[in-house]
Amino acid sequence: MINFSENLHSVIEKIEKARLKVNAHHIVKIIAVSKYSNSGDIEKLYFSGQRGYGENRVQDLKAKSKELNELPIEWHFIGRLQKNKINHLIELEPFLMHSLDSFELAKDLDSRLKVKDKKMDCLLQINSAKEESKAGVVPEVAIEEFNKIKESCSSINLTGVMTIGANSEDRDKIKNSFEVTKAIFDKLDTKYCSMGMSSDYELAIECGSNLVRIGGALFKQ
Ligand SMILES: *Cc1c(COP(=O)(O)O)cnc(C)c1O
């Protein structure tokens, strides 16, 4: 049996400690990453008080949001978006798309949004540690790409940046990837700095994250 309430409260307690190190007005939003969980578990966590959920596959987002359509859940898309899934994602009207990872994808998404006369709130994903395995724009061009998307994709509402911390045992490397992203965020005058997962969310918050994406720590046994 998973004790959802205990998991959630333990995460909130740790977030409180971390965010207060930044300052008393630094508010952090939690997205529960439900990609390895079923609708039954999402519902239980929902009734413990968690409202925002993130999925990394369009099919899973579709299936779970349908199964749980009675609940006013705020759904986030956090995964790699394949071209052939763009229309499906638009139909699902996610609250926020965290993983806009190139100008090309932005152009494709924008033109499909225009056809459907819809808008989407998105974050620009930054490959802050320049890892082969990760999507996103490299830090050097992030501001330029952000402004380019803002100027030429009028159906996309860019509301911030997202990064996945460096895949490393070395805390300094992870910290550096968060600091690099926060420095870009600060130059943009935008709303969300989405960074931090189960293994590194306290560090991410101390580096300035205001949106954490937490899976394992909320859904663990
Ligand atoms: C899976 C995933 C998370 C959550 O990871 P946990 O380690 O389970 O907290 C966060 N962000 C993205 C983009 C993910 O794919």
Ligand 1, from 162, 197, 202, 214: best to mutate by most atoms within 8 Å of Cβ?
197
Q: Which of 138, 139, 200, 141 is nearest to 167 (CA)?
A: 200
- Please report the pLDDT score of residue 1 as a whole number: 87
Distances (CA, A) of 107 to 35, 75, 110, 121, 155: 27, 23, 5, 14, 10
Distances (CA, A) of 32 to 11, 48, 54, 168, 209: 11, 12, 6, 23, 15
Three-state SS across 87-134? HHHHHHCCCEEEEECCHHHHHHHHHHHHHHCCCEEEEEEECCCCCCCC
Backbone dihedral angles phi then psi of residue 213, each to the nearest 5 degrees: -115, 105
Q: Are 109 and 100 in contact (CB under 8 A)?
A: yes
Structure token digits, residue 52 = 């925002």
The residue contributing the CA closest to ligand 1 atom 11 is: 213
Full pLDDT tens readout for the chain, 221 residues? 899 999 999 999 999 999 999 999 999 999 999 999 999 999 999 999 999 999 999 999 999 999 999 999 999 999 999 999 999 999 999 999 999 999 999 999 999 999 999 999 999 999 999 999 999 999 999 999 999 999 999 999 999 999 999 999 999 999 999 999 999 999 999 999 999 999 999 999 999 999 999 999 999 99
- Residues 6 or more apart in contact with residue 70 via CB below 8 angstroms: none
Backbone dihedral angles phi then psi of residue 134, each to the nearest 5 degrees: -110, 150
Amino acid identity at 132: E
Domains of the chain: 4-219 (3.20.20.10)
Report the atom number in ligand 1 closest to the C-alpha of 33. Answer: 4
The residue contributing the CA closest to ligand 1 atom 12 is: 78
Distance 215 CA to ligand 1 centre (A): 6
- Please report the pLDDT score of residue 118 as a whole number: 98
- Residues at CB less than 6 angstroms from ligand 1: 33, 35, 56, 78, 164, 197-199, 213-217
Please tell me what DSSP assigns to residue 39: H
- Please report the pLDDT score of residue 60 as a whole number: 98
- Please report the pLDDT score of residue 78 as a whole number: 98
- The answer for 49, left when phi > 0, alpha when psi is -120 to 50, beta otherwise, is left
